[in-house]
Amino acid sequence: MANLENEFILIAGSISKKTEKASIDLAHDFTRAVTKSVLAAKGGLVVYLAGLPINENGDALTFDWTVAYEAEKLLAGCPPARQLKIVTSQLAMQEKMTLEQRTLIRRLSAEDFAEIFYVEDDLVTGGNIGDEQVEVATALIALGGGKGVSDRARKTRKRKLPILPFDLRLGGFSEDGEGALGLRANFFKDPLSMFPFTGEQVKGRLDSMSLQEPIYGVDKIAELATGLLQDEIEAREAARSPDLLVITAIAIELAAAKKVFGVGEHVAARFTANGVHYWPVTIQRADGPLSCAIASLGNAGNVNATAITTLLLSELKPKKVLMMGIAAGRRKKLSLGEVILSERVVYYEGAAALAGGKIAARPEVPRPGLSTQQDLNAYFATASLPDRLQEHANKLGFAMPAESKAGEVAAHLKVSPATIASGELLIRDPKLFESFQGLHDKAVVAEMEAYGVFDACEKQNVPVLVIRGISDYGDKSKDNTFHKVASEAAAIVTLDYASHGWSRRLY
């Protein structure tokens, strides 16, 4: 089923007084079908409610009240979600509506099914009403009408939002233009002006969605229309630069990120131009949604990390990056399952070969930028952090094992800042691990990608932070038994930091 949550569809149009009843009935049946399909997809609709123009037979010549009556019927008994945006005026409420209509509007508002937008009485003109409607709509369906429909479509095009015109010959109430029929003709000439991302595909579907010479019933056509709108919205979101790029290295880390961020197994990957897989997801924050893409380097190692991260930065253009996964931690310094955030990265491979076979260490030590350091301080200073992490863990059914043969296990999910030693070696030697403290006395974590990710992000001026779950101690006890636990612990902290740690001022 389509999902149009947070999208609001404006059905713009009207009917000539001369139009035959069969076409009028079909138009209203289709309007009801669209209303049903949009609401079922968790979307909403935009209407202008004032008087109801009718012909001499009492047939309604606009669609707004049809939407409102159908929405009231369909929303009865549903959880309130403000799926109707009503544009009106106090003058219209008092002088152009019946008591029954006013009561309907007030009931929808009182029960939180609708949000009302009032146009000032002395500003009620067709143009101003159109401005209000287009301001709150995110897509337009055109049906009949004349200049009013064309004007709303023009305003919608300026916002680069989808416009879907239908071919039913209805005329228009004001008999002043081609309305939806003119838009449909223009669609075939320039489909991307009305569906900026999927216009060519929609162009190929329009004839099969005819209302004038239908091959499907109105319910089917409404479902197809809803699906086309969703495809356009998804394509638009895919093309948008994400606020956050979450990078993993190996499969078990990617699986943990997808699980914690709510990317279901049925969700197909998208691909960059160079074929790198990624999964878009939205993170809900108190200050508004955060768009996110989850990707994987595919292999370990800093060289690979630099190359793939550079591709992702160039193609997706994220505003910030979080690298998450597993790492080795120094025994007696860190516990298995504990999570660390990078206060700095020590690239231990940097060295100079001197005369006599001597090697002089010349490590590079990148640190997060000042703004990221400030956010880290604020994150760790939050008293609710431990409880929040535990709440995340409980929701996912995540729990630390009681013990491990490899060594001490963290008693609960916790996070702290630490210095990472990054290079090309898979560490199984505790003496070598200990030697990293000669390069920096705080180097208590070892892994193989952080420097590569830092280097790529630094070159493109993208803020970056590395989050690692401790999976082993970098000695002979190293095995894969704690990889899943450490990966999921790191993913939980990554989601929490994305939701509560990184400041909006960075983007």
Q: CATH number, domain at 177?
A: 3.40.50
**Residue 173: pLDDT over 60:** yes
User: What's the N-to-C CA distance of the chain in angstroms?
Assistant: 33
Predicted confidence at residue 213, as pLDDT, reads: 96
Is 270 in the same domain as 384? Answer: yes
Is 102 in the same domain as 45? Answer: yes
Residues 134, 156 contacting (CB under 8 angstroms): yes
What DSSP letter does each residue of 293-331 carry, written as one string? Answer: EEEE-SS-SHHHHHHHHHHHHHHH--S-EEEEEEEEE-T
Q: Is 374 helix (H, G, I), strand (E, B) or coil?
A: helix
What's the pLDDT tens digit per position in 460-495? 999 999 999 999 999 888 777 899 999 999 999 999
Is 224 in the same domain as 327? Answer: no
Is 228 in the same domain as 247? Answer: no
Asked if the structure places residue 3 within a domain, the reply is no
Is 354 in the same domain as 231? Answer: no
Predicted confidence at residue 420, as pLDDT, reads: 96
Predicted confidence at residue 129, as pLDDT, reads: 87
Residues 304, 316 contacting (CB under 8 angstroms): no
**CB-based burial of residue 408 (10 Å sphere; 0-12 exposed, 13-18 middle, 19+ buried)?**
middle
Tokens standing for residue 293: 């893409």
Residue 262 domain boundaries: 240-506
Is 214 in the same domain as 265? Answer: no
Residues 231, 201 contacting (CB under 8 angstroms): yes
Average pLDDT, stretch 313-342?
A: 95
Average pLDDT, stretch 358-369?
A: 80
Is 377 in the same domain as 473? Answer: yes
Q: What amino acid is encoded at 328 in this protein?
A: A
Among all chains, which residue has been given the structure tokens 């009865």?
A: 76
- Of the candidates 142, 15, 164, 10, the residue with the CA atom closest to the CA atom of residue 87: 10
- CA angle in degrees (0–180, nearest 5) for 61-64-66: 80
DSSP 8-state code for residue 275: -
Residues 462, 336 contacting (CB under 8 angstroms): no
What's the pLDDT tens digit per position in 433-470? 998 988 899 999 999 999 999 999 999 999 999 999 99
What's the pLDDT tens digit per position in 190-246? 999 999 989 999 999 999 999 999 999 999 999 999 999 999 988 887 777 899 999
Is 213 in the same domain as 286? Answer: no
C-alpha span between 488 and 486 (Å, rounded): 6
Among all chains, which residue has been given the structure tokens 């990317």?
A: 263
Cβ count near 358 (within 10 Å): 8
Predicted confidence at residue 352, as pLDDT, reads: 64
Residues above pLDDT 90, as percent of the chain: 75
Tokens standing for residue 55: 């012909």
Is 179 in the same domain as 207? Answer: yes
Which of the two residues, 47 and 289, has the higher pLDDT score? 47
Is 220 in the same domain as 247? Answer: no
Asked if the structure places residue 1 within a domain, the reply is no
What's the pLDDT tens digit per position in 161-172? 999 999 999 999
Q: Is 440 helix (H, G, I), strand (E, B) or coil?
A: coil
By residue count, the chain amounts to 507
Asked if the structure places residue 179 within a domain, the reply is yes
Asked if the structure places residue 39 within a domain, the reply is yes
C-alpha span between 285 and 495 (Å, rounded): 11
Distances (CA, A) of 428 to 301, 342, 346, 475, 476: 16, 22, 18, 4, 6
Q: Hey, which of 3-17, 19-33, 352-366 has the most confident mean pLDDT?
A: 19-33
Predicted confidence at residue 507, as pLDDT, reads: 40
Which of 40-54, 122-136, 212-226, 345-359 has the weakest average pLDDT? Answer: 345-359
DSSP 8-state code for residue 364: B
Asked if the structure places residue 313 within a domain, the reply is yes
Q: Which of 190, 210, 238 is the last residue of a domain?
A: 238
Is 146 in the same domain as 253? Answer: no
Tokens standing for residue 150: 């064309």
Cβ count near 85 (within 10 Å): 21
Q: Which of 180, 208, 238 is the last residue of a domain?
A: 238
Asked if the structure places residue 44 within a domain, the reply is yes
Q: Is the dihedral of CA 254, 259, 265, 269 positive or negative?
A: negative
C-alpha span between 315 and 304 (Å, rounded): 17
Q: Which residues of 42-58 are buried (b: 16+ CB within 10 A; e: fewer)?
A: ebbbbbbbbebeebeee
Average pLDDT, stretch 415-419?
A: 96
Q: How does the average pLDDT of the chain come out, rounded? A: 92
Asked if the structure places residue 90 within a domain, the reply is yes
Asked if the structure places residue 33 within a domain, the reply is yes
pTM above the 0.75 mark? no
What CATH number did the domain enclosing 475 receive? 3.40.50.1580
What domain count does the chain have?
2
Tokens standing for residue 384: 């609710």
**Residue 14: pLDDT over 90:** yes
Is 232 in the same domain as 244? Answer: no
Q: Which of 238, 266, 295 is the last residue of a domain?
A: 238
Q: At residue 63, what are phi and psi to the nearest 5 degrees?
A: -110, -10
